[in-house]
Amino acid sequence: MQPSVLLAEELYRLVIRTKKLLWRTASRTLEANGESIFTWPILNCLVRNGPSAQRDIAESTGQHPAGLSRLIEELETKKLIRRKVDRNDRRRQVVEATAKGRAWIEEQTPAIYAAVDQVMSGLDDEERRTMRALLLKLLAQVE
């Protein structure tokens, strides 16, 4: 195999393993509080970005639209989110966090960030900033 192919494969595997490590660590943190990791990215997206279409939430969180639809129903039942008609296009619905959902995020987010910090503890601040810059550069190519 060509060196560039081997490097591409290694980078792919490292990014996937890092994602799994972050997800697993955050998941364990929330599970210790009796919560689910699947709730956090959706509510975080809604609190940060405001009311959003399901398609935009799926894109932002990297979740499959079908799985997201089921999760949104569950979160709506728990009164963490609500769906409403889009003011600009009455044919569309948007999803928004409720006060209960915003309170949930405020309560859980410090533990999530502590878990991420734990995973990243081997990197100093400059290395973290460099990593962020490189990831943003990669993502900017496709957005």
pLDDT in tens, 55-82: 899 988 888 888 898 999 999 999 999 9
Burial of 27 (0-12, 13-18, 19+ CB in 10 A): middle
Q: What pTM, to 2 d.p., does this model score?
A: 0.81
- Positive or negative: CA dihedral 93, 94, 99, 103: positive
Which residue matches tokens 């809604």? 46
pLDDT in tens, 112-139: 999 999 999 999 999 999 999 999 999 8
3-class state of residue 33 by DSSP? coil
- The strand pairing partners of 81, in sequence order, are 97
- Positive or negative: CA dihedral 13, 8, 117, 45: negative
